[in-house]
Homo-oligomer: A and B are copies of this chain.
Amino acid sequence: MNQQILFAKAIADETRQKIMQILCCSWLSVNDIVDKLGNNVSQPTVSHHLKILNDAGLLQRRKEGKQVYNSLNQEQVSVCCGQLLVKFAPELVANDKVLVEN
């Protein structure tokens, strides 16, 4: 599957977007994520979602002892959004009308 679709599918789920937000600016183990999600989601489910995010290149992962620490790869988010903009908003990109506002 191509990268655009892989990225889109990865972010097209509420639980995964929650996980992405949790991992946005911190490094957490799988069980940390389960806890942060408020025990509404099982550990295998989180594991499964992490795999999908990782396959889309959206995670940084680091094994440390028994635990695997995860963090969101903001760079990849940025690259993918950039590609989407070039592909689907080319006129705005060409005219520098693409703004990212907080």
Residues of A within 8 A of B (CB): 2, 4-5, 8-9, 11-14, 17, 20-21, 24-25, 72, 74-75, 77-78, 81-82, 84-94, 97-102
Contacts and interface: CB of A to CB of B under 8 A. Distances in A.
A93 B100 contact: yes
Contacts of A86: 100-102
A61 to B, nearest CB: 17
A86 B78 CA distance: 10
Contacts of A88: 11, 20-21, 24, 72, 74, 77
A32 B61 CA distance: 46
Given A82-B99, A89-B74, A14 B25 contact: no
